[in-house]
Amino acid sequence: MPDPVLPVPVLPAPVLPVVVIRPQPGCAATLAAARALGLVAHGYPLFEVRPLGWDAPDPASFDALLVGSANALRYGGPALAQYRGKPAYAVGETSAGEARAAGLAVAGIGEGGLQALLGSLRPGHRRLLRLAGRERVALEPPPGVAIAERITYASEPLAMPDELTALLAGGALVLLHSAEAARHFAGQCDAKAIGRSKIAIAALAPRIAEAAGFGWAAIASAPRPRDHALLALAQAMCQNGDGPDA
């Protein structure tokens, strides 16, 4: 009697790990969202956010606030209470939520960054107070609009832990949320002699991808500067094999 014909086992394709390096609490939020999509995600914050002392100008001197980062409000401290009730323009939904929590009246929520948001100011909002981090994108105000800045926090870079170094050596897809993170991550890879050809990059915006430099296994930017768009890009890159040896 002939031996039975057994089916050929189908082996699963190698799973490309996704790495999130943004500071907390954003790291945990992105990590949870990535895992909800079925991605094998790991969180290694390479920045630590700390508040900076700042002098709060007279609220009456401004028509509205401009918020390009949720951390600008999270780390704003007691001085933020002076601006309760003031209109605020937020770069995204997360920063808008922090603005509401701080007692601000959200006047607009951006889709393509702060510069684009400046094109949709309400009439009468010509004097803006921008609350920002130490590393920030330069803005060009529209004619007749004046922007004052106050720096409320700084993201301090951290050294790459050995566990992350070992993970990257086998290949990974890294999510980059800022140009500062892109430059720091690239520098850490070079300092630890981690070959860029093993690592794929998914960036929140083209300028962030540009800041990461060259030599990566693959690099792409999200169609919109939103976390859900970045995660959709990461999911597509994993499915398409846009990683090491692809």
User: pLDDT value at position 98?
Assistant: 96
Q: What are the distances in angstroms from CA 33 to CA 20, 168, 232?
A: 11, 21, 10
Q: Is the pLDDT of residue 127 over 60?
A: yes
Would you place residue 12 in the very low, low, confident or very high pLDDT band (cuts 50, 70, 90)? Answer: very low
pTM flag (> 0.85): no
User: pLDDT value at position 184?
Assistant: 97
Q: Is the pLDDT of residue 5 over 50?
A: no
* Distance from C-alpha of 196 to C-alpha of 189, rounded to nearest angstrom: 7
Which of 196, 197, 199, 155 is closest to 177 using CA atoms? 155
Would you place residue 225 in the very low, low, confident or very high pLDDT band (cuts 50, 70, 90)? Answer: confident
User: pLDDT value at position 47?
Assistant: 96
Mean pLDDT confidence for 197-214: 95
Mean pLDDT confidence for 110-124: 89
User: pLDDT value at position 241?
Assistant: 59
Answer whether 18-46+158-240 and 49-156 agree in fold.
yes
CATH number of 49-156: 3.40.50.10090
Question: What angle is formed at CA 215 by the lines to CA 244 and CA 27, rounded to 5 degrees?
Answer: 70
* Distance from C-alpha of 3 to C-alpha of 198, rounded to nearest angstrom: 44
Amino acid, res. 197: S
- DSSP track, the chain: -PPPPPPPP-PPPPPPPEEE-SPTTHHHHHHHHHHHTT--EEE---EEEEE-------GGG-SEEEES-HHHHHT--GGGGGGTT-EEEESSHHHHHHHHHTT-EEEEE-SS-HHHHGGGPPTT--EEEEEEESS-----PPTT-EEEEEEEEEEEE-PPPHHHHHHHHT-EEEEE-SHHHHHHHHHHHHHTT--GGGEEEEESSHHHHHHH-S--SEEEE-SSSSHHHHHHHHHHHHHHT-STT-
Spell out the domain ranges in the chain: 18-46+158-240, 49-156
Would you place residue 137 in the very low, low, confident or very high pLDDT band (cuts 50, 70, 90)? Answer: confident
Instruction: Give me 164's structure tokens.
Output: 């992350």
Do 216 and 189 touch, CB atoms closer than 8 A? no
| Bridge partner residues of 48 (DSSP) | 156
* Distance from C-alpha of 11 to C-alpha of 163, rounded to nearest angstrom: 27
Would you place residue 242 in the very low, low, confident or very high pLDDT band (cuts 50, 70, 90)? Answer: low
Q: Is the pLDDT of residue 9 over 70?
A: no
Q: Is the pLDDT of residue 6 over 90?
A: no
The yes/no answer on whether domain 18-46+158-240 falls in CATH 3.90.1150.10 is: no
Would you place residue 8 in the very low, low, confident or very high pLDDT band (cuts 50, 70, 90)? Answer: very low
Do 201 and 220 touch, CB atoms closer than 8 A? yes
User: pLDDT value at position 239?
Assistant: 82
Q: Is the pLDDT of residue 45 over 60?
A: yes
